[in-house]
Structure 1
Amino acid sequence: MQITVSGQQVEVTEPLKSYASEKIGRLQRHFDHMTTGNVVLHVEKTHHMAEATIYAKGATLHADATGENMYAAIDALADKLDRQVLKHKEKTTNHRTSDAPLKKQLI
């Protein structure tokens, strides 16, 4: 998955960029059909915020999170996206395939 990390009103350092890429990249362990991801980091006064948009097969997932520092905001963002990816994966799986063996047992 191609991940782009950018900053608004904040300089994105290399450790911060690699941390965000690593956290968002872990989402592929749940769902392989993700193509690209955009992460935007910004600061408003004392609030550190992270926003992400993930483009997956059949859906566009978006989340944002705030934290007391940028690493905490990225962690919260990754947790929110993780839940969204699992929910999307559940929706896309075909639930009817498990009923076929049950019908054969009843006959």
Structure 2
Amino acid sequence: MNLKISGRHLEVTPALREYVITKLDKVLRHFDQVIDGNVVLSVDNQKEKDKRQKVEINLHLKGKDIFIESANGDLYAAIDLMVDRLDRQVVRHKGRIQEHQHAPIKHQELSVGEQPQQ
């Protein structure tokens, strides 16, 4: 998987990068068909006392793109919120994919008394 982590009005430190990667590894254990991902960490400085930390992720899965953003006063808390929401969506997507897979008609068993159709 290709993962790009960038910062907007923020320098992405190795500690932040490692934290995001370890959190995303926990999510990606559920679903291994991830093509690539783009994480943007940003800070909105509207007022000095009211800084808002925001995290956005765009994850490209096989068959679907997932975009999630979360905001909080603390960047680590925003990352945790984003990972929780991403985890729920990835598990739900995996469940939908698995529900649609049925046994092929050739391998389905006939019940007693049925004749094969020709």
Output the TM-score relative to the length of structure 2. 0.78
- Structure 2: runs of 5+ lacking an equivalent: 46-50, 113-118
CA distance, structure 2, for counterparts of residue 95 and residue 36 of structure 1: 24
Partner of 1:14: 14
Q: Match for 1:50 among 49, 55, 69?
A: 55
| 2:81 corresponding residue in structure 1 | 76
Runs of 4+ in 1 over 2 A off after TM superposition: 94-98
Deviation at 1:37, TM superposition (A): 0.8
Q: What's the CA shift for 1:96?
A: 6.2
Q: Distance in 2 between matches of 1:3 and 1:20?
A: 10
Superposed displacement of residue 48, structure 1? 0.4
- Equivalence for 2:67: 62
Question: Which letter does structure 2 place at the counterpart of 1:89?
Answer: K
Residue 65 (structure 1) shift: 0.4
Displacement, 1:35? 1.4
3-state SS of paired residue (1:93): helix
Answer 1 or 2: which has greater helix percent. 1
Alpha-carbon distance between aligned partners in 2 of 1:94 and 1:69, rounded to the nearest angstrom: 38
TM-score with structure 1 length normalisation? 0.86
Unaligned 5+ segments in structure 1 are none
| 1:94 Cα deviation after fit | 3.2
Letter in 2 for 1:90: G
SS in 1 for 2:12: coil
8 A contact 1:65–1:76 mirrored in 2? yes
Structure 2: distance between partners of 1:57 and 1:78: 19
Tell me which residue corresponds to 1:25.
25
Q: Deviations over 1:26-51 (max 9, x none)?
A: 22211110011110000112110000
Describe the shift of the 1:89–1:43 C-alpha distance in structure 2 as closer, same or farther (beyond 3 A): same
